[in-house]
Chains A and B, each alone.
Chain A
């Protein structure tokens, strides 16, 4: 049976990996908390017991959980790849390792791994590198104007989201210097759908309406932008309506001093007044002097 040596080698390989990094994976399993962590420990025990089919079922169930951390996903895909190798499912193992390498591209086998396993793993990595990478696509519905003091939920569809990548909604009040951000999280039972909630305190209600600038980005683990809608320099906007609806909704009349003609006429009058004052102040008033010459006894 051709798969037998492979399975044995894989067991040695990942046992070796675990042995080579005693401070990484097992402690992670023990200390991991949050969604899926208990199930992951059970999956680990099933793998240790050689119950690979049950382990695969357990690991698939974990992947259906929302809000999984990247660290936990790395562990899930590592065990999934291992279990599938034991079961002779090389393609399934390859798919799992592909996800694992997306999250941890520099993942390598320990040098003590058997050469045959090293060759297998190198071939998998080579195949993954050669494979055309699907572009990440983001479809995002722009946010509508809203009342303040209420959370705003943004919905997005993200396709081909790599492991380790995440969507973020950046926002700031118009005129602010920096953006704040909230993460998108996967919607339960809808793997491609994500939502992000802009908290109510970030958009307080005020008497006068104001604008909020925002943009959406999908970034990888290295914070490189993979897809997005808007950006920091060309953000999208929505308006937080004022509590005084009449004031906020009706465009207000511009103030009299906002009229450029007021300033033009005022400037001309002021200039004329200054010029006139200067001319009057600097002009010299003259009087006529008549000198009459008299020569007594003259004709």
Chain B
């Protein structure tokens, strides 16, 4: 292989191909207590790779974004409605009627995932209201999966950490 073809191959590998949306996916339902819903401004959803690597005991009682046991490459790649890649997707809760609200995004297809939903407070300095930790052995597959999330664990008092996860 000459230098030029090697360079082209490296560039192609570095860029990667376009994302290919496929059918199916995951339908995930989260039940939020009314009291928690009142104090929650945002819900933040992240998927982690490896259920065994990330037991819920290590994920609760602290902000996921500040958790040293979760390196960046353990996050499943997520894509918001505009196609931007993120580590976590946030959904602002409607003040009037949050029930039935849907958050739709795309996630890299795979298995052995763990879903972490964090409720972020309405405070000027955001705090962590609660955490939902759900194993997802079948992950996000091309065929649809329906899964109820584990209940949100509400902290009292709310944990004073900034739960927002950068892209």
A residues with a Cβ closer than 8 A to B are 274-275, 278-299
Contacts and interface: CB of A to CB of B under 8 A. Distances in A.
B26 A286 contact: no
Interface in B1-32: 9, 12-13, 15-32
Contact of A287 (B22, B45, B149): B22
A45 B27 CA distance: 129
B17 A282 contact: yes
B142 interface: yes
A282, A295, A298 — most chain B CB neighbours (10 Å)? A295
A28 to B, nearest CB: 67
Interface stretch (B66-74, B92-100, B121-129, B153-161): B92-100
Interface string B97-140: 11111111111110000000100000000000000000000001
Query: How big is the B interface, by class?
Result: 35 or more
13 contacts: A275-B12, A282-B12, A282-B16, A284-B20, A286-B22, A286-B106, A287-B25, A288-B24, A288-B25, A289-B47, A294-B99, A295-B99, A299-B97
A295 B98 contact: yes
Given A283-B19, A284-B77, A296-B34, A289 B99 contact: no
A285 to B, nearest CB: 4
Contact of A285 (B31, B47, B97, B108): B108
A297 to B, nearest CB: 6
B43 interface: yes
B26 to A, nearest CB: 5
B140 A289 contact: yes
B93 A293 contact: yes
B40 to A, nearest CB: 10
Question: Chain B interface secondary structure, helix, strand, loop or mixed?
Answer: strand
Contacts of B29: 291-294
B33 interface: yes
Given A285-B142, A287-B25, A293-B43, A298 B106 contact: no
Contacts of A287: 21-26, 106-107, 109, 140-142
Given A279-B17, A281-B17, A287-B21, 17 more contacts: A283-B20, A284-B20, A286-B19, A287-B24, A287-B109, A289-B26, A290-B104, A291-B29, A291-B30, A291-B91, A291-B103, A291-B149, A292-B29, A293-B30, A295-B34, A296-B31, A296-B34
A296 B15 CA distance: 45
A284 B19 CA distance: 5
B37 interface: yes
B9 A274 contact: yes
Contacts of B19: 283-286
B79 interface: yes
A284 B17 CA distance: 7
A278 B37 contact: no
Nearest to B36: A295
